[in-house]
């Protein structure tokens, strides 16, 4: 599996599946969730209404509607509450479950935003480590299932942080 980092707007990516950092209602929101719904068009919200929400650490798929991506995998990251409330396990679960769902769809390329690091307040450094470690572990455990995973950096020094972790191999 190729694991790479890229800086920009995830809604612009022509990959098989993009991951959405949603909330448990799965009915849209701000941040990357808002950007994805805006770019996908109202059909995405219509489809999300039928999903019945999603637990934190879990993931559910929809079509990509007007996006370039064929699918959106909606996952719900943990709200940061100081680190002693299972946040790291839940964040790792978001990455792993999103990849499992993507494989189930037949996706070969997947892009992730930095789940939980915006409104949900997860420290960016710790979150980047979990993202890289969890996706790498998935690639080792499921060789050949996914061709390429893109970690999308949007804010601040996320790109440099991802690149440092990827170089450390
Ligand atoms: N492309 C890529 N990354 C983005 C984009 C974009 N277009 N826009 C923002 N980011 P957040 P959370 C980055 O707040 O912390 C929503 O209201 C952003 O810089 O979108 O998981 C949901 O509905 C940050 O690094 O998601 C939930 O209620 C990362 O995406 C809640 O926010 C995640 O920030 C989820 O909070």
Which residue out of 20, 32, 34, 162 has the highest number of ligand 1 atoms within 8 Å of its CB and is therefore the one to mutate? 32
Total tally of structural domains belonging to the chain: 1
Q: Are 12 and 68 in contact (CB under 8 A)?
A: yes
Percent of the chain with pLDDT over 90: 98
CATH code of the domain in which 61 resides: 3.40.220.10
- Of 118, 137, 140, 139, the closest CA to residue 127 belongs to 118
Residue 24 domain boundaries: 2-168
Known active-site residue 33: yes
Distance, in Å, from the CA atom of 118 to the CA atom of 111, rounded to the nearest integer, reads: 17
In degrees and rounded to multiples of 5, residue 154 shows phi and psi of -130, -50
pLDDT digits (tens, 9 = 90+) for 33-89: 999 999 999 999 999 999 999 999 999 999 999 999 999 999 999 999 999 999 999
Which residue out of 118, 121, 125, 131 has the highest number of ligand 1 atoms within 8 Å of its CB and is therefore the one to mutate? 118
- To 5 degrees, how large is the angle CA 131–CA 43–CA 97? 25
Confidence of residue 155 (pLDDT cuts 50, 70, 90): confident
pLDDT score of 169 more than 80: no
pLDDT digits (tens, 9 = 90+) for 107-133: 999 999 999 999 999 999 999 999 999
- Predicted pLDDT at 1: 96
- Of 142, 143, 141, 138, the closest CA to residue 151 belongs to 138
């Amino acid at each position: 599996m190729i694991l790479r980092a890229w800086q920009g707007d995830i809604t612009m990516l022509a990959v098989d599946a993009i991951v959405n950092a949603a909330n448990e209602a799965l009915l849209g929101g701000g941040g990357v969730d808002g950007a994805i719904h805006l770019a996908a068009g109202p059909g995405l919200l219509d489809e999300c209404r039928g999903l019945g929400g999603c637990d934190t650490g879990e993931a559910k798929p929809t079509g990509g509607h007007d996006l370039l991506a064929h699918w959106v995998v909606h996952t719900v990251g943990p709200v940061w509450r100081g680190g002693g409330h299972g946040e790291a396990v839940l964040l790792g679960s978001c990455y792993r479950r999103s990849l499992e769902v993507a494989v189930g769809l037949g996706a070969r390329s997947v892009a992730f935003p930095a789940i939980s690091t915006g409104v949900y307040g997860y420290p960016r450094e710790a979150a980047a480590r979990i993202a890289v470690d969890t996706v790498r572990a998935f690639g080792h455990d499921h060789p050949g299932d996914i061709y390429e995973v893109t970690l999308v950096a949007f804010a601040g020094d996320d790109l440099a942080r991802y690149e440092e972790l990827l170089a450390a191999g």
